[in-house]
Chains A and B, each alone.
Chain A
Amino acid sequence: MAAITFDGVTKIYAGKPAVDSLSLHIDDGEFMVLVGPSGCGKTTALRMLAGLEEITSGALSIGDQVVNNVLPKDRDVAMVFQNYALYPHMSVAQNMGFALKIRGESKAMIAEKVRAAAEILRLSDYLDRRPRALSGGQRQRVAMGRAIVRSPQAFLMDEPLSNLDAKLRVEMRLEIARIQRLLGVATLYVTHDQVEAMTMGDRVAVMRDGHLQQVATPQELYDRPANDFVAGFIGSPPMNLLTTRVSHGADVTLDILGQTISVPTRYAAAFSLPASGEVTFGIRPEDIVIATEGLRARVERCEALGAETLLHLSVNGPGASQHLVAKTGPRTSIVAGDDLSVTFALEHAHFFDVASGATLRAAS
């Protein structure tokens, strides 16, 4: 077991960086989730760590060894592929034992390790089956089993749950997190699903267009996003981002399409807001409260999810409108077309620079 360090790692495909000077440290035993939209370079980063992709520049270390030029077979990492990549002509037991066999371990030893892993993964009854005779969830577990029997330096997983149905995905999410904690092996887990990122990771690294945006614990990411991209990516539904015009008086005043919100100084002080001009005001759906007075908005759509209701609102001004989503309780009488007023739990408000998107949080 070992820590993993990306130090300014870059991968260039045909002149375009797929991963741009990525610096990321994964502690020994840590579960790190790498999350971001499709095409942002997550798979590329993972494949460089596995040794399947050459590194254009930068240094990648496992433990205290720089592995840039180490062959995959000598890196001692285990990978779970998105399509599982199970060996079709081998039984479940042979699939799981393949790496050990290559390593030259004795038959008895292999059988014992495979048996133990199968127990953890509840695969004991399927050891003689071929992969094609297994369900999707079982195949997924075999792919996990192939990784865990090896007791590798690190686990690498590339969207391992994306081929499962929703219910199984929730189940396996817990299962993988449980096993990783049980074994305590450093893990880099790639996903585009922010729910997986939030529920599984000790820490989460958010990527966009090859650039690392923020690395933090799930709660930190949620409460203190580094920029408007992270704010808009994490959370479901994501944070509302409204373009407002700021002015300072007794309180800070925000102008949204002609309507104003006052932000008490005790909340605004946490941010270094410009004296005037535009700022992006961020507020999460659950921090919007329906009130008798406040920002007037029209209900465009109501989504009743059972336990809660999502209201899609539009704030209309002369020749323009802005959209926001509010979360309210179940069984509401509000319907599309209603006009209502909302206020904000401003202690949970966020402010971002309009141009750079960076959070305007004051240095503490």
Chain B
Amino acid sequence: MKARRLTLSQRRQLAGVVFALPALALVIGLIAIPIGQAVYYSFTQWDGITTTWIGTSTWTQAFHNSDLWTALKNNAMLLLWVPIALGLPLAIAVLLHQRVAGWKIFRSIYFLPTAISWVVLGLVAERFFAYQGTLNSILHAVGLSGVTTNMLGSESTALAALGITFVFTMIGTNTMLFLTGLATLDPSLEEAARIDGAGRWRIFRHITLPHLSRFIQLAFVMTVIALFSALFSLIFVMTGGGPGYATTTMEFLIYQTGFSQGQFGTAALYGIILFLITGAVGIIQLRLIGSDK
């Protein structure tokens, strides 16, 4: 007997499902299952060998733990660097896009950090900010020998040093992203605006910026997610989370709680909190991008 003929749209849907299956398997295997496990571990005490179900006590205790609040506060403080991590690359991209002399060389220079491991960048930054580091040498060289900094050594400034380093590591990616965005801007729009009487600033404000809005949103999401989930290597080589807890972020706290203190249940819980925060940022942004349609 002949098989029932599928309609065109049914076939299309079937093809969609078939093609999505491998990706779905990866998502379940690599993301959904570990998240489920993390949730499970957060209700247990796990010393690496045996798991003991202890219910919600980890959850209630965690929120009374001042380390968690310090880490959350540090993350929040680092968020203040995000506008700079976007604004600086935006300015660089706009300048490079005007084809300033030597723009190709500058483009390579700005992109270079992207190709370097964050561990190496962290080491370079550590040498830069250290008491006997490059920054102080420069200050001395320009005659400011009275001003000696020790940004990494002081609780009040270590986080700022980390923020500056973070901005530096994000410049390459974000500049490239904005340059790509600018390359898709129809040059006749700018010409039309010039003829309509707009000067440089108005063209940027009314033509370039709206055109780049999606690229800025994307860069924002990527930067915030990097801030929450990619600073570990920088912190590890620059400050080790200190002095005190001054540069301990959620991410670093998870590592410390789990691997230094052996409290894997609590670490799993912190992981879930971090996951929820980054997830929320992503979803809010996707909503914003989607609502533009």
- A87-B202 contact given A73-B195, A78-B195, A99-B196, CB 8 Å threshold: no
Residues in chain B near residue A102, CB distance under 8 A: 196-198, 202
| Distance A89 CA – B189 CA, assembled complex (angstroms) | 11
Contacts of A77 in B (CB 8 A): 195
Considering only CB atoms, which chain A residue lies closest to B194 in the complex?
A72
Interface size of A by CB at 8 A reads: 22
CB proximity to B under 8 Å, residues A47-74: 50-52, 71-73
Contact, CB under 8 Å: A87 / B189 = yes
- Would you call B192 and A73 a contact (CB within 8 A)? no
Shortest Cβ distance from residue B217 to the other chain A in the assembled complex, whole angstroms: 14
Q: B209 CB to closest chain A CB, in angstroms? A: 10
* CB-based nearest B residue for A103: B197
Residues in A whose Cβ lies below 8 Å from that of B196 = 73, 78, 98-99, 102, 146, 150
Interface residue range, chain B: 10 to 19
Within 8 A of A (CB), among B186-210: 186, 188-189, 191-199, 202, 206-207, 210
Bound CA span A79–B197, Å: 12
B211 at the interface (CB under 8 A from A): yes
CA distance A50 to B210 in the complex (A): 25
Are B197 and A87 in touch, CB under 8 angstroms? Answer: no
A99 near B197: Cβ-Cβ < 8 Å: yes
A150 and chain B: residue at smallest CB distance: B196
Please measure, in the bound complex, the distance between the C-alpha atom of A98 and the C-alpha atom of B197, giving whole angstroms.
Answer: 9
**A87 contacts B207, C-beta separation under 8 Å:** yes
A52 engages B197 (CB within 8 Å): no
| B186 and A52 form a contact (CB under 8 A) | no
Which among B186, B193, B197, B210 has the greatest number of chain A C-beta atoms within 10 A? B197
Tally of contacts, chain A with chain B, CB under 8 A: 59
- In the complex, are the beta carbons of A73 and B197 less than 8 A apart? yes
**A89-B213 Cα distance, complex, nearest whole Å:** 10
Q: A73-B199, A85-B186 are in contact. Are A52 and B210 (CB under 8 A)?
A: no
Q: How far is the CA of A102 from the CA of B197 in the complex (A)?
A: 6
Q: Which residues of B contact A78 (CB under 8 A)?
A: 195-196
Q: B188 touches which one: A73, A75, A85, A146 (CB < 8 A)?
A: A85
Q: Is the CB of A89 within 8 A of B211?
A: yes
Residue of A nearest to B196 (CB): A99
- Say yes or no: A89 contacts B186, CB within 8 Å: no
| Residues B198 and A85 in contact, CB atoms below 8 Å apart | no
CA A215 – CA B211 in complex, angstroms?
A: 42
A126 part of interface (Cβ distance < 8 Å): no
Nearest-neighbour CB distance to chain B for A272, whole angstroms, equals 47
Q: Please judge, given known A-B contacts A73-B199, A87-B207, whether A98 and B193 are in contact too, CB under 8 Å.
A: yes
Across the interface, which residues of B come within 8 angstroms of A71, CB to CB? 194
Question: Judging by beta carbons under 8 Å apart, are B191 and A52 in contact?
Answer: yes
CA distance in complex: A77, B195 (Å): 7
Interface presence of A81 (CB below 8 A): yes
> Interface centre among B191, B196, B211, by most A CB within 10 Å?
B196
Contact between A83 and B188, CB atoms less than 8 A apart: yes
Taking a contact as CB atoms under 8 Å apart, the answer to whether A89 and B192 are in contact is: no
Q: Which of B188, B197, B207 contacts A81 (CB 8 A)?
A: B188
CA distance A103 to B210 in the complex (A): 20
Which residues of B are found within 8 Å of A52, using beta-carbon distances? 191, 194-195
Instruction: Find A83's partner among B186, B195, B210, B213 (CB 8 Å cutoff).
Output: B186
User: Hey, what's the 0/1 contact readout for A226-249 against B, CB within 8 Å counting as 1?
Assistant: 000000000000000000000000
Give min CB distance, B214 to chain A, whole Å: 10
For the complex formed, measure the closest distance between the CB of B159 and the CB atoms of chain A, giving whole angstroms: 38
Q: Which of A72, A87, A103 contacts B195 (CB 8 A)?
A: A72
- A99 to chain B minimum Cβ distance, whole angstroms, is 4
CA distance A71 to B206 in the complex (A): 19
- Residues on the B chain within 8 Å of A75, using CB: 195
Chain A residues near B188 (CB-CB < 8 A): 81, 83, 85
In the complex the two chains form, is A85's CB within 8 Å of B189's CB?
yes
CB<8 Å pairs between A and B, sample of 28: A50-B195, A52-B194, A71-B194, A72-B195, A73-B194, A73-B195, A73-B196, A73-B197, A75-B195, A77-B195, A79-B195, A81-B191, A85-B191, A85-B192, A87-B206, A87-B207, A88-B189, A89-B211, A89-B213, A98-B198, A99-B196, A99-B197, A102-B196, A102-B197, A102-B198, A102-B202, A103-B197, A146-B196
The 5 closest A-B pairs by CB, nearest first: A99-B196, A85-B192, A85-B188, A89-B210, A102-B197
A residues with CB within 8 A of B? 50-52, 71-73, 75, 77-79, 81, 83, 85, 87-89, 98-99, 102-103, 146, 150
Interface on B for A, CB 8 Å cutoff? 186, 188-189, 191-199, 202, 206-207, 210-211, 213
Other contacts beyond A73-B197, A87-B210: 6, CB < 8 A: A72-B191, A79-B191, A85-B189, A87-B193, A98-B206, A102-B196
